[in-house]
Structure 1
Amino acid sequence: MRLNRLRRLSTRVAHVTSPIYYPNAKPHLGHLYSNLLCDVTHKWKTLNKTQSLFTTGTDEHGFKIQNASEKNGYKDPKLFVNTLYKEFVLLNEKGKINYTRFIRTTDEDHIESVKKLWELCWNNGFIYKGEHVGWYSISDETFYPESKVIKDPKSPDKYINTESYNEVSYHSEINYFFKLTAFRERLIEYINNNPAFIYPESKKDQILNELKNSNNIQDLSVSRPATRLHWGITVPNDPDQKIYVWFDALCNYITSIGGIDKLKNDELATDLLHQPANKDCTVHPSKTWWINTTHVIGKDIMKFHAIYWPSFLMAAGLPLNKQIIIHSHWLCNGVKMSKSLGNVVDPIEMIDYYGADTLRWFLLENSQLEEDGNFQEEKLYEAREMFVSKWGNLINRCCGKKFNISRAVSDITSKQNPEKYIKGQFLNDVDIVRQIDSIFEKLNKLPQIMDDKLQKYDTSSLLREIWGILFDANTLMQHSAPWKMTPTQQDCIIFICTETTRILSILCQPIIHSFCNKFLDKLEISKDRRSIDYIKFASDKSYGLNSNLSQKGVPIERVPKRQL
């Protein structure tokens, strides 16, 4: 009876996942970007009172880890990953990424989930043993069909695959196989019937084209001989085989919400969260979380998430997650980043100099799901300048000694219709009324626009909307010249400008939490009035008491261009 009651509770829940990353080298800008998209989504949901989970982590098994640990002089790969996973934790801390669980595939509960997933697929007849002959890429941890293998144009004695262009070599070995071919038609049908399952649409079409070409879909090797791969999860009841790294890694998403058993039996997901504010999230069954799970991934791993993973779930008799969001990669000054070119951007270095919020905003403003982003440090510097000159400076001007924010707030919020009252003070100035109307309209529409655009991960367009409102407020301040007005008119202009920055600062907390709170601190907005309940115009009736008397400096300071 208790479980039935809990199932009737609100289903306003969301679970967003980043990929889990190989800790065989330090994290790069792409890792931060994937996690940033998840973090903003998670924080936006939480701000809007949706119960939310965000999981990320490290993929710590497989040949790449085994080989990297040996090259670095580690006899035990676990000691190697114990050192490197901390680099990813550090990047999240520096980037103000607030996940609810950081999962490692060496975690005991994850190992148990992987074994349960294997047993379900095995018991349902979708795993069998056989000989595997084919082209294998250690970098990609996968086999490629003959149709996707070519000679390396840079080294004719080597071969590469046409998907990732990483080197492949010919192998013959005894493995377990997953009957991927059994799910080709089922998956095509599911994607067609659920067009939002893969987004954006161009990536959905790409996956469908891959599935419709039967030559591309072959039964998948899901184990490796323990003699060749010793660093992995042992196949249940066969100590001579280790589980294929992708079968292992993809299961992390279910482990993070309680594991296979809880999902299969629809049990409550408990002990998942580490953030006190989200403790009430634990009241929902694991299945509720799972069917509201969105995977955010890079385009290089979409086949594993959009073909292999749904097939594993179908084979195990488990429901599919809600959606897969696929984003593009990052270039540096128009060129693919590589160690040999020396153009790999260190995100921690950028954060330490320009600040986490500056880098977060820059990445979101200069990226689109379907196009590779282009990192340019000059633009990163300009982003910081914009915060200072447009957002920070507008607040600073309102806090000038010639104005009185507290008086303006008190007088205008006491009126029955503050918007009508304000416009009534400028009936003889059509231009000012037009500008005021435009700001009111944009502020009223912004919460829904933000929700719509964040649902589509259209961050670049969203941030342009936000800048547009800020530019309008700056223009109003400059054009109306409130320092020349009567106190009543002056208060109206100052109130519109402070309300613009107040509302934007509340709404943008999921994007630039530190900057927004500095802006709100400058206006002396109470800590308990920085929630979604206070985003309507004139909804906070008491702030700015000492803002025009305060000796506090500017909310954000300029930084000089970094000397390269």
Structure 2
Amino acid sequence: MLKQLAHTTTPIFYPNARPHLGHLYSSVLADVQHRWALLKTGDPQASRLTTGTDEHGLKIQAAAAANGYASPRSFVDALCPEFKALDRLFSISYTRFIRTTDPDHVANVARLWQLCERNGFLYKGQHQGWYSVSDETFYPPSKVIKDPADPTGARHINTESRNEVVFQSEVNWYFRLASFNDALHRYIAQENPQFVFPPGKRDQLLADLKTMPLQDLSVSRPASRLQWGIPVPGDDSQRIYVWFDALCNYVSALGPIDAASGTIASPFWPRTTHVIGKDIIKFHCLYWPAFLMAAGLPLPRRVVVHSHWVSDGVKMSKSLGNVVDPVQIGTRYGPDVLRWYVLENSTLEQDGDFIEQNVAGLRQLLVAKWGNLINRCCGAKFSLSRAVQRWTGERDPGALVGAIPPASQTLATDLIALLDRLPGEMDTRVDNFDYSNLLRLFWSAINDANALMQAAKPWKLQGDQQDAVLYLCTETSRVLGILAQPVVPTLAAKLLDRIDVAKDHRTIEYARLGADTTYGANANDRARPVPLEREPSQDEIPLVNNEQLAS
């Protein structure tokens, strides 16, 4: 049982502005992993999904002051509910929403620090360099240039994120990151080549590591400059650097670090997959493993690195006014439609291009293809209940195909073969985050069932022939509905409700042809609501109460 346990994490997000499409994308990628693990094992305790907010640091401190808040705490308390509201709207089924201000996390960060210090990997020294408040990191002089947009020549930016940097000199605590350069390269390249996924992101990371060897890392800031942070254990004049603090959330969300034994009190660690954006690969794939190695703690299973989203081919920017608001889009077209859209139109390796009219088109396609397939099977001239009772007792798929008109039997045979291999295909594709190709398989099944319905014309058939066509087309929707639950949980539930699939018959055991003998009793009753309308109805838009979510 232990090897079946899974823990998936999103990054923890800065609550210095409202959530955008990138936040949703990371969350949906991780949520599908979690939901699939639960569906696959049938064990509600087999998987954990953790997310949250990264609430310390100069960026938050500055944003709170700039927005007129009395304190950084009041600022993050006001914005944290926005992220919980996003998760609720899009059915992100997290098991822990962690805030880096949570007491158990603060205690864990201190324990991680103490382990690294006890093992000789922390020391105090003078530091000077180019620091970016936006990125919460120092950049070497080789990556600092004058801002070409500043006519005075006084402003400097870094060449990675293009954010402003300022030169600082101060006393900090240091982490001996340079001593892990060879160990990290060996671990990622040889000992565990699946640690960074996909391979293209791993290879680029290794190339950067070879050409730019790691330097010791400043892991604290003077309390005189950074008040909003966790105190360094035994040195109240310093506050812990935000990444050393933030990265520890992945452990804190599961349980305490035992500083005496150097263990983590959770069976889910290290069975952990981090889902992150490509802009934070260095912190998660180099800094975080080094911190854990220094503390004598096990490393997570892998780090999955995804690309970003642009809008109509242009990088999203507040100044351009093209930042996609997922709450607005999800409310307009339906949260599950947007979940499907971002999964279908993205890959880990390449940036996705968000085009709103294509979201609208996807909704119409789901209505016309999947929704209409179910509506036709539930027509008043048919009896789905009779078809289910007739054909679920027949264990020979050949008999089912034989009852279908000869001209349509090849379609039926191919559809049965696809349904048979779909659960296994889904397991492989979910593990590889290959959601785009997974949804192409879903569309293949939907399109093949529609083609069978159109070619066989069951409304012109009688008896076993009619019931065989009806049964296979509806079985396609039932099996797909079960398998689609991790992808579009609300829509899948509505589609399964429409054909009267019992709540306890929506597990992986029932995701095969002929597995359910009980559904369809009232499916052909007149005047039942359709599961998906061409335009979103009010009951498809979940109400989000931020005050309730803040608790």
Question: Which range, TM-score by smaller chain?
Answer: over 0.9
Distance 1:126 1:543 in 2: 62
Listed as ranges, the gaps of 5+ residues in structure 2 are 538-551
1:291, CA displacement in angstroms? 1.7
Task: Output the CA distance in 1 between the equivalents of 2:395 and 2:203.
Answer: 53
2:185 aligned partner: 188
**Structure 2 residue 243 is matched with structure 1 residue 246:** yes
TM-fit CA distance, 1:75: 2.7
Question: C-alpha offsets along residues 257-281 of structure 1, whole Å, 9 cap, x if unaligned?
Answer: 10212895557x5xxxxxxxxxxxx
Asked if 1 retains the 8 angstrom alpha-carbon contact of 2:254 and 2:268, the reply is yes
**Structure-to-structure mapping, 1:136-151, within 5 angstroms:** 136-151=131-146
- The superposition leaves residues 68-108 of structure 1 with CA deviations (integer Å, 9 ceiling, x where unpaired) of 11111223211111111111011111111110000000000
Match of 1:421 in 2: 399
- 2:427 aligned to which of 448, 451, 455: 451
Aligned to 2:353: 374
Helix, strand or coil at the partner of 2:227: coil
Q: 1:24 to 1:443 in 2, by over 3 A?
A: same
Other structure's SS at 1:40 match: helix
How much does 1:48 deviate?
Answer: 0.9
Counterpart in the other structure of 1:297: 276
Identity %: 53
Q: Work out the CA distance in 2 between the residues paired with 1:172 and 1:549.
A: 76
Which residue does the alignment assign to 1:279?
none
- Aligned position for 2:544: none
Alpha-carbon deviation of 1:355? 1.0
How far residue 522 of structure 1 moved from its aligned partner, in angstroms, is: 1.0
1:531 to 507, 511, 514: 507
* SS of aligned partner of 1:157: coil
Change (3 A) 1:91 1:560: closer
Aligned-partner Cα distance in 1 for 2:458–2:353: 41
Q: Distance in 1 between matches of 2:260 and 2:527?
A: 56
Amino acid at match of 2:28: L
Q: Given residue 72 of structure 1, which amino acid in structure 2 is its aligned partner?
A: N
- C-alpha contact 1:313 1:320 (8 A) present in aligned 2: yes
Q: Is the CA contact (8 Å cut-off) linking 1:482 and 1:490 kept in structure 2?
A: yes
Q: CA deviation at 1:361?
A: 0.5
Q: Which structure ranks higher in relative contact order (CA pairs < 8 Å, sequence separation ≥ 6)?
A: 2
Structure 1 residues 365 and 182: alpha-carbon distance in aligned structure 2, compared to 1, 3 A threshold: same
Instruction: Check if 1:356 corresponds to 2:335.
Output: yes
Deviations 1:218-239 (A, max 9, x none): 1000000111111100101111
**Helix, strand or coil for the counterpart of 2:86?**
helix
Q: Note the residue ranges of structure 1 that are not aligned, 5 or more in a row.
A: 1-8, 270-285
Q: Per the alignment, do residues 239 and 263 of structure 1 end up closer, same or farther by CA in structure 2, a change over 3 Å counting?
A: closer
- Name the counterpart of 1:6: none
CA distance in 2, matches of 1:139, 1:318: 30
Q: Which residue of 1 aligns with 2:67?
A: 72
Does the 8 Å CA contact 1:264/1:318 hold for their aligned counterparts? no
Q: Pick which of 111-120 and 512-521 moved more.
A: 512-521
Structure 1's consecutive aligned runs of 4 or more residues displaced over 4 angstroms after TM superposition are: 262-267
Distance in 1 (CA, whole Å) between partners of 2:244 and 2:503 is: 45
Structure 1 match to 2:525: 549
1:103 and 2:81 matched: no
Instruction: From 22, 30, 54, give the equivalent of 1:30.
Output: 22
Q: Which of 78, 81, 87 lines up with 2:76 in the alignment? A: 81
Which structure 2 residues correspond to residues 79-228 of structure 1 after superposition, within 5 A? 79-155=74-150, 156-192=153-189, 193-213=191-211, 215-228=212-225
CA distance in 2, matches of 1:292, 1:553: 43
Matches within 5 A, 1:252-291: 252-261=249-258, 264=261, 266=263, 269=265, 286=266, 288-291=267-270
Partner of 2:293: 314
| CA drift at 1:178 | 0.5
Asked if structure 2 preserves the Cα contact closer than 8 Å seen for 1:188 and 1:208, the reply is yes
Secondary structure of 2:477's match?
Answer: helix
SS at match of 2:513: coil
What is the distance in 1 between the residues matched to 2:260 and 2:288? 16
Taking structure 1 as reference, are residues 266 and 172 closer, same or farther at Cα in structure 2, changes over 3 Å only?
closer
Aligned match of 2:441 in 465, 476, 489?
465
Q: Is the Cα contact below 8 Å between 2:262 and 2:296 reproduced in 1? A: no
CA distance in 2, matches of 1:182, 1:468: 52
SS at match of 2:459: helix
* 2:346–2:352 CA contact under 8 A, matched in 1: yes
Which residue is 1:54 aligned to? 49
Superposed CA offset, 1:344-365 (max 9, x none): 1111111111111011001101
Pick closer, same or farther for the CA change 1:263–1:123 going to 2, 3 Å: closer
1:391 to 370, 383, 386: 370
Pairwise CA distance, 1:486: 2.6
Distance 1:266 1:61 in 2: 25
Report how far residue 44 of structure 1 moved: 0.6
Cα distance in 2 for residues equivalent to 1:12 and 1:415: 34
1:425 is displaced (CA, Å) by 2.0
Identify the range of structure 1 (121-130 vs 203-212) with the bigger mean alpha-carbon deviation: 203-212
3-state DSSP of counterpart to 2:268: helix
Give the TM-score normalised by the residue count of structure 1: 0.92
* Residue matched to 1:401: 380
Give the secondary-structure state (helix, strand or coil) at the position aligned to 1:241: strand
CA apart distance, 1:550? 3.6
Aligned residues: 531
How far, CA to CA, are the matches of 1:396 and 1:341 in structure 2?
Answer: 43
What's the CA shift string for 1:275-298, capped at 9, x where partnerless? xxxxxxxxxxx2x31121000000
